[in-house]
Structure 1
């Protein structure tokens, strides 16, 4: 299912995906790497460039990854990554070298048979809560499979080579390659017709995508149905039908959910006052915002921040 016009380019400017490359891991023997749950607005990723890797998440089945696989955990779930020969109380010693902010972690005393690049995605704008929430809890791409290989594989190889060579500017180049890589991953997920539902379906239709982008750009604006229909280039009735068909929700109800989602993101990722956040997302009074937040999430904004 093709994306309408160039909606993803507009969405990319709003999302501002910023990867952080944390570790280049070269492991052998029994090894394990543990990752705690990430803060709001962060997603974990692993690029397997050599060998076999297993990933465990509490409450989910074990995942098996091989060279050429890219794994994204959009919600920043806690997880452990380990090798096939993992034993809970037996780990090969690992030495860590720093190259700027990048850690090079290497098993010692064993043959190295696995390599992966680990990091996090930071979505610098609050709309990430919408897009990432619409993705599955785990996204895996097998880049050695056609038609992905021709586009994804050169990017992954470029990241690996830059980080391995350690030449001047390598980290910056690798981060820019990773930004392109993960926007392509999001596009590939949106274009999977079998997986496109809700918000992703809204982005795949011209009428609804223009209305959604307008709301994301200006969530504080006092939108009316007429305003949204005008921006979408459709009648009010057409816009309502399109929203209900794609996401099972009316446009203004979607706007209310959008504002509350943005507010929840701000509560978890900043120290801005609740009253200011209420105003930033379009609520005329903190009391109205608090009531709406309670109806949506079951807690008051201040309780959500404490949690």
Structure 2
């Protein structure tokens, strides 16, 4: 009996602290993520085109290569390095900064294993992929990210990230039954690990005094965000959110606004409408039920609020 109580108690504690980062990924990603394992033999250079409304990654599984960007100096990459382009900006990978690139790659929808110039054992093996994002629901966390996130390989660091890379590489190299379910799940897991690693590292640079990296490392602000994400339907006020944060009303409002660039209730309204948009696309629940899920007792009031944010009525949004 006692063990059962402790199990229920632990479950309540976990469910009471909704994972804001997981919610961010859930609300902004749409469609099927795609990925490919590519083996290269020198000389090679591959251009990856800019794709608005997407985020892309490159992982070096074997051998060295270079990341080439028109607006920056070439970046040498080594085995285990991860490059994430959160805003879909184009770039080139090459065996040398002087090699001329060929046509864009990784532009098909199905996972694949590709061989380039594979006359001998490949000198470099990479894992490339992209996530399709819902531009109308882009979370401000994504806007805070730089054009390029480079996570150099460090032996023994970020074991969850490395394990996910290994699993994804194996599935792409030797697809088996269930791959259609496993690969998208691993790609979502990879995205979460990349963002988690960046959020963990970014405050150490001394530059993250504001923004989501700072907010998610601030216990008071995180507590308020968790409350909003846990139950957006509650009639939250600045005072009740301040209580969740363990602060008085005025200091909490100043702190939240300074870190995130918007007042608490502005973010609450934005999150409610984004949650509603996701429910409209992913469920056939009636508008009255969705309105209740995001804190509106009146379907008319909900429809007006939704139209202010998205420029269209909820029913039309669902149909399109």
TM-score computed with the length of structure 2 as normaliser: 0.66
Question: What do you get for the CA RMSD once the two structures are aligned?
Answer: 4.3
Gaps of 5+ in 2: 1-13, 282-290, 295-300, 313-320
The number of residues matched between the two structures is 270
Query: Using the alignment, how far apart are the partners of 1:11 and 1:108 within structure 2?
Result: 40
Query: Using the alignment, how far apart are the partners of 2:130 and 2:218 within structure 1?
Result: 30
Q: Corresponding residue for 1:298?
A: none
Q: Corresponding residue for 1:208?
A: 221
Contact 2:55 2:86 in 1 (8 A): yes
State yes or no: 1:175 paired with 2:184.
yes
Gaps of 5+ in 1: 271-278, 294-300, 303-307
Displacement, 1:115? 0.8
Displacement, 1:213? 4.3
When structure 1 is superposed on structure 2, of 134-143 and 230-239 the one drifting more is 230-239
Q: Corresponding residue for 1:305?
A: none
Q: 1:106 aligns with which of 100, 112, 115?
A: 115
Q: Corresponding residue for 2:44?
A: 31
Q: Cα distance 1:64–1:74, how it changes in 2: closer, same or farther (>3 A)?
A: same
Query: Using the alignment, how far apart are the partners of 2:262 and 2:119 within structure 1?
Result: 56
Contact 1:24 1:105 in 2 (8 A): yes
Q: Counting strand residues as a fraction of each chain, which structure ranks higher?
A: 1
Q: Cα distance 1:94–1:108, how it changes in 2: closer, same or farther (>3 A)?
A: farther
Q: Corresponding residue for 2:7?
A: none
Query: Using the alignment, how far apart are the partners of 2:42 and 2:97 within structure 1?
Result: 6
Contact 2:59 2:128 in 1 (8 A): yes
1:191 aligns to what SS in structure 2? helix
State yes or no: 1:61 paired with 2:55.
no
1:59 aligns to what SS in structure 2? coil
Q: Cα distance 1:71–1:210, how it changes in 2: closer, same or farther (>3 A)?
A: same
State yes or no: 1:118 paired with 2:128.
yes
Displacement, 1:50? 1.0
Q: Corresponding residue for 2:58?
A: 46
Displacement, 1:230? 4.2
Post-superposition Cα deviations, 1:62-85, rounded to whole Å, max 9, x if no partner, equal: 222111111111111122222227
